[in-house]
Amino acid sequence: MTHAVQPAVIGATGYSGFELTRLLLAHPCLQKPALFRHKPEPGQPTDLADFYPQISGNGFGQLALEPFAWDALKAKGADILFLCTPHEVSREWAIEAVDRGYRVVDLSGAWRLKHAANRAVYKFEDRDATKAAVLDNEAVYGSPELHKDQIAGAELVANPGCYATSIILALAAWTKDELIDLDFGVICDSKSGVSGAGKQPTPATHFVEAADNLSAYNVFGHRHTGEMLEQLGLQASQLQFTPHLLPIPRGILSTIYVRPKSGVAVAALEGSMKAFFAGKPWVRVFGSRLPQIKYSLYTNYCDIGFQVSPDQSRAVIVSCLDNLVKGAAGQAIQNMNVMFGWDEREGLQ
């Protein structure tokens, strides 16, 4: 392109939307993002710094928040649209955005799933079922480590879920190389900071409930499970995913229990993982050193390490990332970089 790309963010006041805006403002290939609220209310502030004072006085000038309208989006000359909107809103608006010629990165779960049985957890009621079915087929799952070539030419990229990213990346190499005994099953025990639940408070995320506590939730019904099954090629009976709420603001740690196939050596496991992520700048393979949440906070890294039992019959993988960066806004930037042919690290270092 001959001009600096103009991004637009719908839903800039949420945690992911704000994190995305902060990153976009520092990206060298972009104009200042156009910011919209998908559901403005009378009397609310119209500058993002009123919601997040930490960005005031940084030379950005006014970061005006406008009520979203297609005419307003056109007036801004947007080249790419980031939807930081509720699932059902993204489900509707992405169709029109693609029809209008915009390239879209959707940070919701509206377009991540190819199988209707997995997508049923969202209970979507499409106004135009035919167009929705077409876009379900055309949308690309936005994991650059898995689908970089498809992302490059995509009109709609479905940004992965945060839990799903931590687990899919941790298991991708070994499932591809068929090193795991899937009959034994895969157990994923994941823990996330409270920001993963979004900005709107709930009884479970209230400070009194979350502080000094650790709780499991959605044990057999979490919406990210379908992403793991589809992207890893697993059956529901082969994977158990249990999410937990940590009393910290941000960060995810996933502990994954697998059984290597008989005769698979530790060197083969490590070689598989290192080969798979060679040239993929936002995954750090730690080997036998296990990651911690604090290593990846405020970065776009997914850190992966593993250890194997002395008899080599069991392996434990630990995967960590920042749920608001690699698990949301940072991965959205990474996807945009791929879509426009830029280095995946642009604006994220």
The residues near 5 (Cβ < 8 Å, ≥ 6 apart) are: 29, 30, 31, 79, 80, 340
Q: Walk across the sheet containing 215-216 and list its strands.
A: 215-216, 239-245, 186-192, 252-258, 315-321, 302-308, 283-287
Establish whether 188 is a catalytic residue. Answer: no
Token output for 249: 């603001």
Between CA 36 and CA 137, with CA 7 as vertex, the angle to 5 degrees is 95
SS3 state of residue 248? coil
- Cα distance between residue 74 and residue 70, in whole Å: 6
- Cα distance between residue 278 and residue 250, in whole Å: 28
Instruction: Provide the pairing of β-strand 186-192 with 140-141.
Output: unpaired
- Of the residues 162, 188, 302, 320, only one is catalytic, namely 162
Active site residues: 162
